[in-house]
C-alpha cells in the first residue's frame, strides 16, 4: 500500500512539474509574441495577419512561387521604407533600400544569422558561411561535343564543374563530379539544399517533433549521413597524410595546399589545434557555399551574354586582346586585365544575385527609418529588390555591364549592391568566387560563341537557398577562332585611354 501511495505521489509530482513547465513555456512564448506584436504594430504590414498564424497562410510553398511572391511584394510596396510579415509567431522585417540595409549590415551588433538558418546547422554546423586547370578544361571538352548541335541545358555542366573545383580546392579531394554526376555524394549535395529550403518555407515543419513525424526528417538524416561520412573520411585521411605531404617539397600539394590542409595546420595562440569537428563544419560550409553560388552566377552570366551579342562581342575582343590566338592557360596577371568580363559578372550578380535574400537576427532593440524593431526580431534583406533601385541603377532591368566601370561607379553607395553581403558577415570567399567565375567564363568564351535560347520572362527564377532558373539555362554554342584585335581602340574612348595612361603614370 505504501509503495502504491508512493508511486501515485511521484506521478502527481512529475505530472505537476510537467504542467508547470508547459505553462511557463507557453506563457513565455506567448508573452514574447504579444510584446513583439504590440511594439512592432507601427511597422507597415502586408495582407491579412491572423493571431498566432500570422501571414503563413498567404505564403506560397513552392520555391518558384515563393520567390516571385517576395519579389512582387517588394516591387508593389517599393515606396515603403520597409514592411513586416509574420510567419507563425516569428516576425520578419523586409528590407530592400540602401539606407535600411546599411543600418543592419554596417552594425557590428546585428551579426547573428536569423532563426531559419538553424535548419542548416545539422549539415554545416556553426562554421563560416585558385582552381586546378583541368577542371575547366573538362568543361570546355564537354561543350565542344555540344558545339553546333543545337539547344542544351548548360546549368548542370557548369554546376558540376564548380563542384569539382571546390572539392579539390577546399578538401584536396577529387570527386570527378563532371564525369560521375550520379555519385551518391554529388546527388546528396543537391538533395540536402532542397530539403532545407523546403523546410524554411513551411513553418509548420519548424518544430522537430512535427518534422520527424510527418515531414522530411528521416530523409534529412539519411542524406546528412552521406555528406558527413564523406567529409569525415576525407578529413581523417588528410590528417594522416599531412606529415608526408609536408616532407615532400616536390609534390603538387606542397605547392598548392588545399583549404583543409591549412585548417589541419591551424593552431590558436595557446598552441591548440582545431578539432576535427570544427574543421568538418568549415569544410562542409565551403563545399556548399563555395560551389552553388558561383555555379549559379556563371549560368546567369552565360544566359545574359547569349541574349546580348553586342556585350559578348566586347568580351571576345577583350579576350583576344589578352590572349590573341594563343591557347595557353589563364594566369593571375591575365585575370587583372579582364576588366570588362568582371563588369559582366558584376552586372549579372546585380540582376540575378546568387543569394536573392538573406536574414539577420536583431541583437538589441533598434530603430530603422523611425520604426522600432525589438531585440530577437528577424530582418530579411532582399538583395534581388535592392539591386533594382532606379536611383542607383537607371533602367534597372536592362543588362549594362558598363555600370560597373570605375567612372560609372563613383558616388554609388556601398550598400546599394551587396551580392556577397557586406559588413562583418560578408562572404570571405568573394575574391575566390570572382576569380573562379572569370577563369571558367573566359575559358568558355575563348572557345565558343554563346546564343541564349530563352527569353528572360521564360527563366522563372526560383529563390531557394540559391537563385536558380526553374528550367535551367538553355543555350547553343558554336566554336570560334580567336582573333588578334585592338581592344583599347574598340572599347574605350580617347578620353578614357588618356585618363588610364595618366593613372598608370601616377
pLDDT of residue 3 exceeding 90, the answer is: no
pLDDT of residue 30 exceeding 80, the answer is: no
pLDDT of residue 398 exceeding 60, the answer is: yes
Whole-number Å distance between alpha carbons of 111 and 232: 29
User: Looking at the domain assignment, is residue 438 inside a domain?
Assistant: yes
Question: What pLDDT, in 10s, does the model give residues 81-95?
Answer: 999 988 878 888 999
Q: How confident is the model at residue 277 (pLDDT cuts 50, 70, 90)?
A: confident
User: Looking at the domain assignment, is residue 60 inside a domain?
Assistant: no
pLDDT of residue 383 exceeding 80, the answer is: yes
Report the domain count for the chain.
1
For residues 428-449, give the mean pLDDT.
88
For residues 264-285, give the mean pLDDT.
69
User: Looking at the domain assignment, is residue 82 inside a domain?
Assistant: no
User: Looking at the domain assignment, is residue 20 inside a domain?
Assistant: no
User: Looking at the domain assignment, is residue 32 inside a domain?
Assistant: no
CATH number at residue 408: 1.10.630.10
Q: How confident is the model at residue 359 (pLDDT cuts 50, 70, 90)?
A: confident
pLDDT of residue 52 exceeding 60, the answer is: yes
- pTM for the model stands at 0.76
Whole-number Å distance between alpha carbons of 86 and 464: 19
Contacts of 490 (CB under 8 A, 6+ apart): 314, 317
The set of cell numbers assigned to 196 is: 532545407
Whole-number Å distance between alpha carbons of 407 and 506: 17
For residues 395-416, give the mean pLDDT.
94
In the chain, % of residues over pLDDT 70: 77
User: Looking at the domain assignment, is residue 390 inside a domain?
Assistant: yes
pLDDT of residue 261 exceeding 80, the answer is: no
- What domain range includes position 469? 133-505
Q: How confident is the model at residue 389 (pLDDT cuts 50, 70, 90)?
A: very high
Q: Say which residue, 12 or 432, is predicted with more confidence.
A: 432
Q: Which range among 47-61, 301-315, 317-331 shows the weakest confidence by mean pLDDT?
A: 47-61
Q: What is the reported pLDDT for 490? A: 42
The mean pLDDT of the chain is 79
Q: Say which residue, 364 or 297, is predicted with more confidence.
A: 297
For residues 430-452, give the mean pLDDT.
91
Q: What is the reported pLDDT for 134? A: 57
User: Looking at the domain assignment, is residue 125 inside a domain?
Assistant: no
pLDDT of residue 119 exceeding 70, the answer is: no
Q: What is the reported pLDDT for 473? A: 94
For residues 42-63, give the mean pLDDT.
82
User: Does 427 appear as a known binding residue?
Assistant: yes
Q: How confident is the model at residue 33 (pLDDT cuts 50, 70, 90)?
A: confident
User: Looking at the domain assignment, is residue 457 inside a domain?
Assistant: yes
Q: What is the reported pLDDT for 200? A: 79
The total of other beta-carbon atoms located within 10 Å of residue 169's CB is 25
Q: What is the reported pLDDT for 489? A: 40
Question: What pLDDT, in 10s, does the model give residues 321-350?
Answer: 999 988 888 888 999 999 999 999 999 999
Q: What are phi and psi of 451, to 5 degrees?
A: -120, 125
Interstrand relation of 366-368 and 371-373 (parallel, antiparallel or unpaired): antiparallel
Q: What is the reported pLDDT for 300? A: 95
Whose CA is closest to 419, among 350, 331, 498? 350
Q: How confident is the model at residue 197 (pLDDT cuts 50, 70, 90)?
A: confident
Q: What is the reported pLDDT for 332? A: 86
Q: How confident is the model at residue 424 (pLDDT cuts 50, 70, 90)?
A: low
Whole-number Å distance between alpha carbons of 46 and 62: 20
Q: What is the reported pLDDT for 315? A: 97
Q: What is the reported pLDDT for 47? A: 77
Q: What is the DSSP string of 133-181?
A: HHHHHHHHHHHHHHTTS--EE-HHHHHHHHHHHHIIIIIS----TTT-T
Amino acid at each position: 500500500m505504501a509503495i502504491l501511495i508512493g508511486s501515485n505521489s511521484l506521478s502527481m509530482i512529475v505530472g505537476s512539474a510537467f504542467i508547470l513547465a508547459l505553462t511557463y513555456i507557453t506563457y513565455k512564448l506567448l508573452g514574447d509574441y504579444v510584446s513583439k506584436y504590440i511594439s512592432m504594430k507601427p511597422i507597415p504590414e502586408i495582407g491579412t495577419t491572423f493571431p498566432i498564424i500570422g501571414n503563413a497562410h498567404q505564403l506560397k510553398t513552392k520555391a518558384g512561387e515563393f520567390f516571385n511572391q517576395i519579389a512582387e511584394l517588394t516591387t508593389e510596396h517599393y515606396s515603403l521604407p520597409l514592411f513586416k510579415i509574420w510567419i507563425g509567431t516569428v516576425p520578419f522585417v523586409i528590407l530592400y533600400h540602401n539606407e535600411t540595409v546599411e543600418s543592419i549590415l554596417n552594425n557590428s551588433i546585428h551579426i547573428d544569422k536569423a532563426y531559419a538558418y538553424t535548419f542548416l546547422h545539422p549539415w554545416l554546423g556553426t562554421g563560416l558561411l585558385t582552381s586546378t586547370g583541368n577542371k575547366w578544361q573538362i568543361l570546355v571538352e564537354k561543350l565542344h561535343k555540344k558545339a553546333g548541335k543545337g539547344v542544351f541545358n548548360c546549368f548542370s555542366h557548369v554546376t558540376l564543374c564548380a563542384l569539382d573545383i571546390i572539392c579539390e580546392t577546399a578538401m584536396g579531394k577529387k570527386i570527378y563530379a563532371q564525369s560521375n554526376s550520379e555519385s551518391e555524394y554529388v546527388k546528396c549535395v543537391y538533395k540536402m539544399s532542397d530539403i532545407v529550403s523546403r523546410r524554411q518555407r513551411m513553418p509548420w515543419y519548424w518544430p522537430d517533433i512535427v518534422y520527424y513525424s510527418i515531414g522530411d526528417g528521416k530523409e534529412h538524416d539519411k542524406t546528412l549521413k552521406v555528406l558527413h561520412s564523406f567529409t569525415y573520411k576525407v578529413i581523417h585521411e588528410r590528417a594522416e597524410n599531412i606529415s608526408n605531404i609536408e616532407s615532400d617539397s616536390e609534390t603538387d600539394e606542397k605547392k598548392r595546399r588545399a583549404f583543409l590542409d591549412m585548417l589541419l595546420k591551424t593552431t590558436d595562440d595557446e598552441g591548440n589545434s582545431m578539432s576535427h569537428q570544427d574543421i568538418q563544419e568549415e569544410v562542409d560550409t565551403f563545399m556548399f557555399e563555395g560551389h552553388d553560388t558561383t555555379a549559379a552566377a556563371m549560368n546567369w552570366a552565360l544566359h545574359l551574354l547569349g541574349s546580348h551579342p553586342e556585350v559578348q562581342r566586347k568580351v571576345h575582343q577583350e579576350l583576344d586582346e589578352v590572349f590573341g590566338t594563343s591557347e595557353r592557360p589563364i594566369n593571375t596577371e591575365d585575370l587583372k586585365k579582364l576588366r570588362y568580363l568582371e563588369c559582366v559578372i558584376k552586372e549579372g550578380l546585380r540582376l540575378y544575385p546568387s543569394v536573392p535574400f538573406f536574414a539577420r537576427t536583431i541583437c538589441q532593440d533598434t530603430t530603422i527609418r523611425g520604426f522600432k524593431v525589438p531585440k530577437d526580431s528577424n530582418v530579411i534583406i532582399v538583395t534581388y529588390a535592392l539591386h533594382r533601385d532606379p536611383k542607383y541603377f537607371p533602367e534597372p532591368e536592362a543588362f549594362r555591364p558598363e555600370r560597373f566601370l570605375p567612372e560609372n561607379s563613383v558616388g554609388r553607395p556601398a550598400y546599394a549592391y551587396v551580392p556577397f553581403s557586406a559588413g562583418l558577415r560578408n562572404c570571405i570567399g568573394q575574391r575566390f568566387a570572382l576569380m573562379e567565375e572569370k577563369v571558367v567564363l573566359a575559358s568558355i568564351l575563348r572557345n565558343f560563341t554563346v546564343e541564349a535560347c530563352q527569353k528572360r520572362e521564360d527563366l522563372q527564377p526560383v529563390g531557394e537557398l540559391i537563385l536558380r532558373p526553374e528550367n535551367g539555362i538553355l543555350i547553343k554554342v558554336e566554336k570560334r577562332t580567336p582573333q588578334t584585335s585592338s581592344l583599347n581602340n574598340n572599347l574605350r574612348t580617347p578620353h578614357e585611354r588618356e585618363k588610364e595612361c595618366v593613372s598608370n603614370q601616377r
